[in-house]
C-alpha cells in the first residue's frame, strides 16, 4: 500500500538553529516524486521542495534541503537557520507515476520556532 508516515506530531526549534522533519514512505512503484509543503494558519499549502525517485542528488531550495535516503525510503526535510515565520504545519507528500499524479499526504508535523 502506498503510504506516507510522519512520526513527529510536533517539533520545536530555537530561532536560527536547524531542524529536521522526518518522513518515510512506502511504495513498490519504481518511479515516484516526493514533496514537502508548508501550511501556515491561513490554510494555504505552500510548495517548498521536490525530489524525484531517480534524482541522484538531494534537492535544495534556499534554506530547505531534502535528505533523500532511497534504501531507507525516507525523505526528511531540513530547515536551516530557522525563522519565526517558519512556524507552521509541514506535510510530506508522494506522487506516483500512475494514478494521474494525485498526491498522498502524511499527517503532518507542527513546527514551532521559539525566539
Partner 1 sequence: GAGVSQSPRYKVAKRGQDVALRCDPISGHVSLFWYQQALGQGPEFLTYFQNEAQLDKSGLPSDRFFAERPEGSVSTLKIQRTQQEDSAVYLCASSGGGGGETQYFGPGTRLLVL
- The sign of the torsion formed by the CA atoms of 7, 10, 14, 15 equals positive
Q: Which stretch binds partner 1 (CB under 8 A): 21-29, 37-45, 54-62, 69-77?
A: 37-45
Cβ proximity to partner 1, 56 vs 115, nearer residue? 56
Sole binder of partner 1 in the list 1, 28, 30, 43 (CB under 8 A)? 43
Shortest reach from residue 36's CB to partner 1, in Å: 11
Are 16 and 82 spatial neighbours (Cβ–Cβ below 8 Å)?
Answer: yes
Shortest reach from residue 98's CB to partner 1, in Å: 10
Cβ proximity to partner 1, 65 vs 106, nearer residue? 106
The HSE-up count of residue 109 (CA atoms within 13 Å, CB side) is 27
Strand, coil or helix: what is 22? Answer: coil
Kindly state the number of chain residues that form the binding site for partner 1, as judged by CB under 8 A.
25
Q: How far apart are CA 98 and CA 4, in angstroms?
A: 17
- Report how far Cα 91 is from the mean position of its chain's Cα atoms: 6
Strand, coil or helix: what is 28? Answer: coil
Touching partner 1, residues 75-104 (CB under 8 A): 91, 93, 95, 97, 99-104
Return residues touching partner 1 (CB under 8 A). Answer: 4, 33, 35, 37, 42-47, 50, 91, 93, 95, 97, 99-108
Amino acid at each position: 500500500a502506498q503510504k506516507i508516515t510522519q512520526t513527529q506530531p510536533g517539533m520545536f526549534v530555537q530561532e536560527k538553529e536547524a531542524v529536521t522533519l522526518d518522513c518515510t514512505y512506502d511504495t513498490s512503484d519504481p518511479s515516484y516524486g516526493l514533496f514537502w509543503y508548508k501550511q501556515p494558519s491561513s490554510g494555504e499549502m505552500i510548495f517548498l521542495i521536490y525530489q524525484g525517485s531517480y534524482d541522484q542528488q538531494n534537492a535544495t531550495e534556499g534554506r530547505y534541503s531534502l535528505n533523500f535516503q532511497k534504501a531507507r525510503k525516507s525523505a526528511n526535510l531540513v530547515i536551516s537557520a530557522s525563522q519565526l515565520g517558519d512556524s507552521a504545519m509541514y506535510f510530506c507528500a508522494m506522487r506516483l507515476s500512475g494514478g494521474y499524479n494525485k498526491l498522498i499526504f502524511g499527517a503532518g508535523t507542527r513546527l514551532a520556532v521559539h525566539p
